[in-house]
Structure 1
Amino acid sequence: MTAASVPNASSRTGVEGRRARRTDSPWIRRWSDGAVARLTLICLPHAGGSASFYRSWAALLPPEVELLGVQYPGREDRFEDPMIDSMGELVTALAEGLVPLLDRPYALFGHSMGSAIAWELAHELDRRGAPGPRRLFASGRAAPGTAVVADVHRQGDDVLRAELQRLGGTSREVLDDPGLRALILGTVRNDYRLIETYRPAQRPPLHCPIHVLTGSTDPELGEERSRDRAGGWADLTTARTEVRTFPGDHFYLTPQRREVVATVLRRMDPSLTTGGHTWPSTP
C-alpha cells in the first residue's frame, strides 16, 4: 500500500514521493527542489542544444517557478543514448516523461527547433488527456507549417559548419577543434534531419496564448521579418498572440537573458516581477 493511499500518511512522505517522481525521467533536468513552486516552466532547446542551455535561467527565477530543462538523448549526460531524428518518436517519449510532472500550472518555452517540439508536445499531451500549457513561448522560428525548411542535414560538414557560423551561438574555438567539431556536427546533423523532414499534421488550434520572441537580426526568420513578425503562430491558437522583438541575432537569448526571463515571468504571472521578491541572480 502506498503512502498516498493511507489517510493518515504524513505530508512529508507525500512531498518526498512527489520529489522522487520529479527526478526519475531521463528527459528532465532540474536545478532546484521546487518545494515551494506553484508554477512550472518547461524549456526545450534548439537543434544541437541541451538542457544546460537554460541552466543560467534558474538563478533568475523566483522560488514560485520551477524550471525544467528538457534533455534530448545523445548529448551531455545522455551521450550514450541513441539520438532520435523523428518528431513523432521524440514527442511521444518526451510526453511520457512529462505527464507525471504536470501537477501544477505550466508554460512551455521552445527555442528554434524547440518551439516546433513545444507545439507538437502540447497537442500530444492533449491527446493523452493531460493538462495543457497555460502559455506557449515560441522563440526564434516561424510556426510549424510555415517555417522554411532546407536540406542542410544532407550536406557535408563544411556546409553544416557554415550554418552554425551563420546563426551564431557556437564559438569559433569549438568549431576549430576537430574532436569537438565532430561531436557537435553529429548532434546538429541529427537534429536538422528531424526538423527538416518534419511535416506537421493539420491540427485544431491550441487554446492558450502564444508569445512569439525573436531577435531583431535573426537570419532564421528570413522574409518573415519584413512580412509578419508573428511568423504564422497567430493561426495556431484561439487565444491571443503577442510578439516581442529583442536586440540580437538567432541566439539573442544569451545576451538578453535577463530581459527574456523577465518577459516570461510577466506573462506567466505579473506578480512575479513586482515588489516583494528577492532571489539570487547571475552576473
Structure 2
Amino acid sequence: MTETTDMPWFPPCRPEATPAPALDADAIQLFCLPHAGAGASVYRDWPVLLAPGIEAIPVQPPGRESRHGEPALHSAVELVAALEGPVARRAGGDFALFGHSMGALLCYELAHVLSALGKPPRHLFVSGLGAPHIPPTGPRLCDLPDDELVTVIAKLEGTSPDVLAQPELVQLLLPLFRADLEVWETYSHRRSPLPVPITAMGGRRDPGVGLDLLGAWKELTSADFHLEVFDGGHFYHHAAPDQVLAVIRERLGERVPTAPKSTE
C-alpha cells in the first residue's frame, strides 16, 4: 500500500466523480513520467485507455501542477533519489516504466536503481529522447535568454500557443522548463547495459531526435530491443495515442519475460 508521504507522486488525474477504471487481478503497472515542463496530467487519459490489463500510473515530479509549491529539482541524480522509494513501494511484482523526453531519462536511471534493489521493471519504454550515453550537442538550452527559450519551446509544438502568448504564464513556466532542461543537459552517463528489454519510440519529424539517436538505445540493453517510429514530431504520442498504446499493450502482453542476450 502506498505510504501517505508518497501520495504527491501519484496524483489522481480524473475528476473525483469519475470512477476508477476496473483492472484485472494480474494487471501490469505502468509508471508514466512526463516531459520537461509538464506534469502527470499529460497522461490523464491513459488509465482508462490501458485498463483492464494495464494499470497506468502517472507520476508527478515536484514543481508542477499539484506540486507547484515545491521547488523543482535540477539533476537526474536528485530526481531519481527522490523517486526511487515511492516507486519501489508502489510497484508490485510486474511493472514497467514509460517516459517521454526528460521522463525517458529518469525512467532509464530509475530502471538501473530498481534493478540494483532486486526489483527490475518488466520493460522500459523510452520516448522522444536520444540514447543518453551520446552527449547532447549545441548550446545549452537551459541557459538561453527567455525569448529564445520560448521560441525553442514553441517549435516543439507541445505547449499551447495561447499559453506562450501570455507573458504572466510564460514567466511562471520558464523556471520549470529551465530546471528540467538542466536535468538532461548536465546528465553524465556511467551505466552498463540494462538486463531489461527496451522499446524506443519517436516521431519521424522530431527536429531534435533523429532515428540514429533513437536506435542507439539498443546499446544500453543486454535484453531485447525494439525501435518504433510514428508519424509526427516531438509530441507524436499526443497526436496518435492509440498507436503508441497498442505497442505498449503488445510488449506487455508477452507474459513471459524475455531472456537476456548472451554476452559471450
**TM-score when normalising by structure 2:** 0.87
Q: Cα–Cα, structure 1 residues 160 and 229, in superposed 2: closer, same or farther, change >3 Å?
A: closer
Correspondence 1:141 to 2:123: no
- Whichever residue aligns with residue 261 of structure 1, its letter is L
Q: For residues 74 and 31 of structure 2, what CA distance do their matches in structure 1 show?
A: 21
Q: For residues 254 and 204 of structure 2, what CA distance do their matches in structure 1 show?
A: 25
Deviations 1:17-40 (A, max 9, x none): x3x548843222345475735210
Residue 220 of structure 2: aligned partner: 236
Question: Among 112, 116, 120, which residue is 2:109 paired with?
Answer: 120
Question: Among 65, 72, 76, which residue is 2:61 paired with?
Answer: 72
Q: Secondary structure at the match of 1:206?
A: coil
Deviates more, 1:40-49 or 1:96-105: 96-105
Q: Cα–Cα, structure 1 residues 230 and 138, in superposed 2: closer, same or farther, change >3 Å?
A: same
Deviates more, 1:50-59 or 1:242-251: 50-59
Residue 11 of structure 2: aligned partner: 29
- Whichever residue aligns with residue 122 of structure 2, its letter is R
Deviates more, 1:63-72 or 1:45-54: 63-72
Residue 8 of structure 1: aligned partner: none
Residue 268 of structure 1: aligned partner: 252
Q: For residues 90 and 123 of structure 1, what CA distance do their matches in structure 2 show?
A: 14
* Match runs of 1:1-283 below 5 Å: 18=1, 21=3, 24-30=6-12, 32=20, 36-127=25-116, 129-149=117-137, 150-201=139-190, 203-221=191-209, 224-225=210-211, 228=212, 230-269=214-253
Q: Cα–Cα, structure 1 residues 219 and 22, in superposed 2: closer, same or farther, change >3 Å?
A: farther
Residue 279 of structure 1: aligned partner: none
Q: Secondary structure at the match of 2:47?
A: helix
Q: Cα–Cα, structure 1 residues 246 and 152, in superposed 2: closer, same or farther, change >3 Å?
A: same
In structure 2, runs of 5+ residues without a counterpart are: 14-19, 256-264
Deviates more, 1:205-214 or 1:141-150: 141-150
Q: For residues 161 and 45 of structure 2, what CA distance do their matches in structure 1 show?
A: 22
User: Percent same amino acid among aligned pairs?
Assistant: 38
Q: CA deviation at 1:113?
A: 0.9
Q: Secondary structure at the match of 1:36?
A: coil
Residue 274 of structure 1: aligned partner: none
Q: Secondary structure at the match of 1:72?
A: coil
Q: For residues 53 and 157 of structure 1, what CA distance do their matches in structure 2 show?
A: 24
Q: For residues 55 and 3 of structure 2, what CA distance do their matches in structure 1 show?
A: 15
Q: Secondary structure at the match of 2:130?
A: coil
Residue 17 of structure 2: aligned partner: none
Q: Cα–Cα, structure 1 residues 102 and 200, in superposed 2: closer, same or farther, change >3 Å?
A: same
Q: Secondary structure at the match of 1:220?
A: coil
Q: For residues 230 and 35 of structure 2, what CA distance do their matches in structure 1 show?
A: 18
Q: Conserved in 2, the CA contact under 8 Å of 1:37 and 1:63?
A: no
Aligned length: 247
Q: Cα–Cα, structure 1 residues 230 and 155, in superposed 2: closer, same or farther, change >3 Å?
A: closer
Residue 9 of structure 1: aligned partner: none
- Whichever residue aligns with residue 269 of structure 1, its letter is G
Q: Conserved in 2, the CA contact under 8 Å of 1:135 and 1:210?
A: yes
Q: For residues 235 and 29 of structure 2, what CA distance do their matches in structure 1 show?
A: 23
Q: CA deviation at 1:270?
A: 5.4
Q: Conserved in 1, the CA contact under 8 Å of 2:30 and 2:97?
A: yes
Q: Which structure: larger Rg? A: 1
Q: Cα–Cα, structure 1 residues 22 and 254, in superposed 2: closer, same or farther, change >3 Å?
A: farther
Q: For residues 47 and 147 of structure 1, what CA distance do their matches in structure 2 show?
A: 18
Q: Conserved in 2, the CA contact under 8 Å of 1:28 and 1:68?
A: yes
Deviations 1:119-147 (A, max 9, x none): 101111123x2410111111011111215
Q: Conserved in 2, the CA contact under 8 Å of 1:51 and 1:70?
A: yes
Q: CA deviation at 1:229?
A: 5.9
Deviations 1:10-68 (A, max 9, x none): xxxxxxxx3x5488432223454757352100111111111111111122112221111
